[in-house]
Structure 1
């Protein structure tokens, strides 16, 4: 075992790969070989062909008494989000092999997208503490949203993700924009850090925990995954040229400077909408408004490259 692994107290590791993710099937055996070459002490390995079984498998691994200290997960943002409820506030550390289309969680933490680099991170990286968002009692890693994000998720097809990769996200957003029905929203801040606000004719309301979403778009300038806060923004459906202006700056996060965008940084917010709407949580529609959002500080331990400055151990 290499020295960095011993220093980190790696212990035994379980490997679970969503082989239905964009590159999962061909990556599984390569990752298995590479991790063994790097002296990562692997125990059980699970190539999961049905993503529905992923949460169940993770739960079993964490509760079967095998004493794993690291869970190496191969998959995209959806895979991470589907199992993070079991990993939150758990002693097991997450090692990530980013195999999805967007990989925004990995991008936030500077984890390499290619398999050899990701395996090297698992073997030789450092452990950091990151925050998780909460929508009710559902944990999320990147962003929760209502409005355009929900429409884009519904327009995002597996075929598009496999054939055009991250470009599938803006294409789906354009499709959703063409049929979007504006809505109104009320934001209530229970901690009193902002006054209650109401917005009409909205395109989207998003609550971000990490730095990136939707294939590399920035949640907000200065947003981070260990800042103990959520970044909330509401985009008003204004003139079309205003919306094109917002679209232009989505990549950098400068869109919040557009006059049609209102932004709030907070630890807790209640979102009420008219009409009631589905909530997109890291790409899955698993809740509806009204919904309470909060931040769970230092809720997840993740292995990141030694050079990453995205987060740190809380005790450092």
Structure 2
């Protein structure tokens, strides 16, 4: 592996990049031609251009793109696409360039990236290479968030047309239809030998700083060697709804020191009853699960002001 400084210099000087865009994402198909125009206008030599219409083929597409040994692998899509891509570039001498073309773009927000396309592409020319933490839920890597409870049903229920129309607001609106029939569950989180028990409708374990497009807490980082577990509300539906609406409309999130958070590098999660996991927007695996973080597990392109620890 090159040093981060050497890798940054190679990207700035050689401009050797491959581009993958999920054209089934919220803005992927509409912005695909613009992505290519902006990359070429930025002086990048594209070793491959890969539109993805079937997300099941993403692994093969990434493998084909990496065969040309680009310094920068640019991936455009939502959090599910980016999380899937992360697992294939983790530990490799290639930097991931992120284009936020999804609904909530939590991963891009955690990296401090501009959410407009031109701004995101400019980071590839003006930014730097950083090594950030990678989450692992069971044997599945994730970039941003593993969640359990109402969000799993919402992920399977929310309509694509509603996401295209309303963006991130589609998720809380869909939750309103799911919540009346949802039953609370008990979760047991063991961290550093201490077991935490709670009754809730929703539990999240975050590697990144954002959930649903809103900040989790002021001092959460995607590069601090720890995960953050927290519940929304309690076993009462009204409290869950109230807390969700307050955070969605005001963005008032407390500090880790003052909020009901459990933090650690490794967490054993058990639930009663067993629950499916929503991993960066894709429903996979079931509890019990070991959730952990891999420090500096993946290399990405970020703005110069990003704090790389």
Query: After TM superposition, is the score higher than 0.5?
Result: yes
* Matched residue, 2:189: 187
For the residues of structure 2 that align with 1:96 and 1:303, how far apart are their CA atoms? Answer: 8
| Structure 1, unpaired ranges of 5+ | none
Report SS of the residue matched to 2:63: helix
* Matched residue, 2:153: 151
Report SS of the residue matched to 1:223: coil
Structure 1 ranges of 4+ moved more than 4 A: 4-7, 238-241
Listed as ranges, the matches of 1:123-138 within 5 Å are 123-138=125-140
Report SS of the residue matched to 2:201: strand
Report SS of the residue matched to 1:250: helix
* Matched residue, 1:60: 64
The CA RMSD over aligned residues, in Å, is: 2.3
Report SS of the residue matched to 1:271: strand
Report how many aligned residue pairs link the two structures.
299
1:28 paired to 2:28: no
Report SS of the residue matched to 1:160: helix
Report SS of the residue matched to 1:269: strand
Q: Is the 8 A contact 1:209 1:225 kept in 2?
A: yes
* Matched residue, 2:203: 205
1:218 paired to 2:215: yes
Listed as ranges, the matches of 1:1-316 within 5 Å are 8-10=9-11, 11=14, 12-62=16-66, 64=67, 66-189=68-191, 191-192=192-193, 195-200=194-199, 202-214=200-212, 216-235=213-232, 237-239=234-236, 241-251=238-248, 252=251, 254=253, 262-306=260-304, 308-309=305-306, 311-312=307-308, 314=309
For the residues of structure 1 that align with 2:55 and 2:236, how far apart are their CA atoms? Answer: 41
Q: Is the 8 A contact 2:128 2:301 kept in 1?
A: yes
Q: Is the 8 A contact 1:256 1:262 kept in 2?
A: no
| Structure 2, unpaired ranges of 5+ | none
Q: 1:120 to 1:98 in 2, by over 3 A?
A: same
For the residues of structure 2 that align with 1:131 and 1:5, how far apart are their CA atoms? Answer: 20
Q: More displaced, 264-273 or 9-18?
A: 9-18
